[in-house]
Amino acid sequence: MKRCITLASGVVLSCASITPVFAQSTVTLYGVLDNGFVYQSSSGNNSAIRAVPGGLFSTRYGFKGREDIGGGLQVNFQLEQAFSGQTGVATNSADAFNRLAYVGLSGGFGEVRFGLQNSPQYDVLQAAMDPSWVKSIASPMNNFNGLIIRASNGISYYTPTFDGLNAKFMVALRDSATGGGNGIGFYNVVVQYINGPLNVAAGYERGDEPGVGAGGSYTLTGGAAAGPGAVFSVFNAGASYAIGANRIWLAYHTENLTNTPKYMQHDVYQISDSYQLSPFAFLSLMYGYVHDRTGAGNNAQQLGVLFEYALSKSTELYTAAGFIQNRNQAKYTLSGTAYSGLPVTPGTDTRGIGVGLVHKF
């Protein structure tokens, strides 16, 4: 193509043969819809059957895109919003995208991301901890754990994988809404090793004043409520090994949240087994025990079962069931991935079963 470039005055700057190069880019709309119902009862005569959204997956939609800018580099972005599949109401109507809103760059060096994003613990390590990826009422880790799910003002770096080993780092900076301190409100590091049937991962995170004055920057699981000056720290480790269609899982979690009731200082141990019954059917059995480190004896244990049946590549039916035995003042309940369980009288047992339909697009 012949193209001449001139100034407004008409002076010719250049006249050359130029072959234009257009970057390759893609934008994808995606989403997950998960609706169902659950029945839960406890020894304290509290029971109910409810229609619930997000029994296994959080219902959401989003956009993600990639632009190849040459030299082996790509610009990536992702925007994601969660909402209720039962009512259509946004999980947080004040935010245009309440789950993800980041832009980043990837290449041979790995990947960097800037903005609202999932913590590596939530995004990566949970997949190594149990067959449900720490989801549904069947997972003890889901019901016993606290976790900083995502943070605003995040800066993360994902390394390339070297002989099965990779690492992921993230910090979240404070802004005018989140106060002073040293400028860092949250940090998280995860290391993972995958070699054939073996998957091992461990990670540590710490958040200062999570959820306090941060405009929702931090989202805690486990029903935690942090007070001013609170510090939340978590260490997770998970390992699994596949033997044919069977996989054995081990997981450990320890957490500490200051300025809260003592039951937020505990350790969780879990062992799970999963089996691919057929190309369409997947069965998981999970057992977990939570130990109160304060010595108050507020311990609990849970048995959970999850059955998933694929109707197609995009749609599945699932049934999740769980039984929790609380001790002393422990009051753990059965919560879905995107809904809270019924309140439980301290020291009483609770049980529940749910059925749901998931469609991904």
Q: Tell me the per-residue pLDDT of 94-124, one tens digit each, with 9 for 90 and over.
A: 889 999 999 999 999 999 999 999 999 998 8
The 10s digit of each residue's pLDDT in 59-99 is 999 999 999 999 999 999 999 999 999 999 998 888 899 99
How far apart, in Å, are the Cα atoms of 291 and each of 69, 178, 249, 335? 51, 33, 19, 19
Tokens of 237: 């480790």
- The pLDDT value given to residue 1: 38
Whose tokens are 């039962």? That residue is: 86
318: Cα separation from own chain's centroid: 19
Whole-number Å distance between alpha carbons of 192 and 236: 12
Tokens of 274: 């999963």
Q: 181 or 72: which carries more pLDDT confidence?
A: 72
The 10s digit of each residue's pLDDT in 188-206 is 999 999 999 999 999 999 9
Say if residues 85 and 357 touch (Cβ distance below 8 Å). no
Tokens of 32: 């997950």
Tokens of 219: 């989202």
Say if residues 238 and 125 touch (Cβ distance below 8 Å). yes
Q: 305 or 8: which carries more pLDDT confidence?
A: 305
Nearest to 214 by CA among 178, 263, 164: 178
Exposed, middle or buried, 196 (CB in 10 Å: 0-12/13-18/19+)?
A: exposed
Contacts by residues 26-31 (CB-CB < 8 Å, ≥ 24 positions apart): 26/65, 26/66, 27/63, 27/64, 27/65, 28/63, 28/64, 28/65, 29/61, 29/62, 29/63, 29/361, 30/61, 30/62, 30/63, 30/64, 30/360, 30/361, 31/59, 31/60, 31/61, 31/62, 31/360, 31/361
Confidence tier at 263 by pLDDT (50, 70, 90): low
Mean pLDDT over 354-358 rounds to: 98
Nearest to 361 by CA among 71, 15, 4, 28: 28
Mean pLDDT over 337-356 rounds to: 95
Share above pLDDT 90 across residues of the chain, in percent, rounded to a whole number? 72
Tokens of 323: 């039984």
Mean pLDDT over 327-349 rounds to: 94
354 pLDDT more than 90:
yes
- The pLDDT value given to residue 146: 87
Q: 272 or 186: which carries more pLDDT confidence?
A: 272
Give the global pTM. Answer: 0.87
Q: Determine which helix (DSSP H) or strand (DSSP E) holds 141, and give its type and residue range.
A: helix 140-144
Whole-number Å distance between alpha carbons of 125 and 81: 22
Share above pLDDT 70 across residues of the chain, in percent, rounded to a whole number? 84
Tokens of 325: 């035995």
Range of lowest pLDDT (115-119, 172-176, 186-190, 304-308): 172-176
The DSSP bridge pattern shows strands 47-53 and 60-70 to be: unpaired
Nearest to 299 by CA among 288, 291, 287, 307: 291
* Domains, in order of start, for the chain: 2-360 (2.40.160.10)
Whole-number Å distance between alpha carbons of 268 and 139: 12
27 pLDDT more than 90:
yes
The 10s digit of each residue's pLDDT in 127-168 is 999 999 999 999 999 999 988 899 999 999 999 999 999 999
Q: Return all residues near 280 (Cβ < 8 A) that are at least 6 apart.
A: 309, 310, 311
Range of lowest pLDDT (248-262, 267-281, 302-316): 248-262
